[in-house]
């Protein structure tokens, strides 16, 4: 017997990685699932801060939308409300998905990971194609949360917990 701790190897064969997780309905919620839940909630909080900042600075922003043909009382205020309501709905959906992740629903875990990949990809495309600045205040926070979210929810323990009720 050696004094070395029992560690997983740095490289694992594909057969081992693709092996289905076990059926264990009594499995305890792993830390990776709780971390994913907290990170989704942090994304919701960050979204609320972004929407609040957008609403506070809306009068200073210029809107380049041709609204001459639309009969609205105040086009700028209408566009602001559309942005705020759309953002609030998206944040509400994110919060509901966080609850489903916490309860162990696999479809919610996969959907949130897909959204995180899309978010990271669009940020990269905006940077590569349009040389959009990556700033500490906005983009780094979003990318950081999305990367951590992907790491937490793609872990073996989070996948096993989300699939704990599936029979093979």
Closest CA to 27 of 113, 111, 109, 103: 103
pLDDT score of 131: 78
Q: Is residue 105 part of a domain?
A: yes
Say how many domains are in the chain. 1
DSSP element (H, E) containing 55: helix 31-56
Question: DSSP character for 30?
Answer: P
Residue whose structure tokens are 């996948």: 159
What pLDDT does 133 receive? 74
Smallest CA-to-CA distance from 33 within 163, 140, 167 is with 163
Nearest to 93 by CA among 34, 40, 53, 144: 40
Q: Pick from 34, 49, 55, 35: which is nearest to 141 by CA? A: 49
Q: Quick check: is 20 in a domain?
A: no
5 lies in some domain: no
pTM of the predicted model as reported, rounded to 2 decimal places: 0.77
**pLDDT of amino acid 110:** 95
Which tokens in the block code for residue 14? 């594909």
Residue 12 falls inside a structural domain = no
Kindly give the parts of the chain with pLDDT less than 50: 62-67
**What's the alpha-carbon Rg for the chain, to the nearest Å?**
21
Residue 104 maps to a domain = yes
The pLDDT value recorded for residue 149 is 95
Is residue 114 in some structural domain?
A: yes
* Within a domain: 15: no
- 85: containing domain: 29-62+73-162
> Is residue 1, in this structure, part of any structural domain at all?
no
């Amino acid at each position: 017997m050696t004094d070395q701790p029992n560690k997983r190897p740095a490289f694992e064969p594909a057969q081992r990685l693709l092996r289905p997780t076990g059926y264990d309905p009594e499995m305890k919620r792993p830390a990776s699932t709780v971390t994913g839940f907290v990170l989704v909630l942090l994304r919701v909080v960050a979204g609320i801060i972004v929407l609040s900042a957008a609403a506070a600075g809306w009068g200073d922003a210029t809107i380049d939308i041709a609204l001459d043909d639309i009969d609205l009382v105040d086009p700028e205020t209408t566009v602001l409300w559309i942005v705020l309501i759309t953002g609030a709905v998206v944040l509400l959906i994110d919060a509901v998905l966080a609850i489903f992740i916490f309860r162990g629903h696999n479809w919610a875990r996969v959907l949130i990971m897909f959204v995180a990949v899309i978010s990271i990809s669009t940020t990269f495309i905006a940077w590569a194609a349009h040389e959009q600045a990556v700033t500490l205040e906005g983009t780094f926070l979003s990318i950081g949360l999305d990367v951590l979210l992907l790491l937490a929810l793609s872990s073996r323990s989070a996948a096993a917990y989300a699939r704990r009720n599936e029979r093979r």
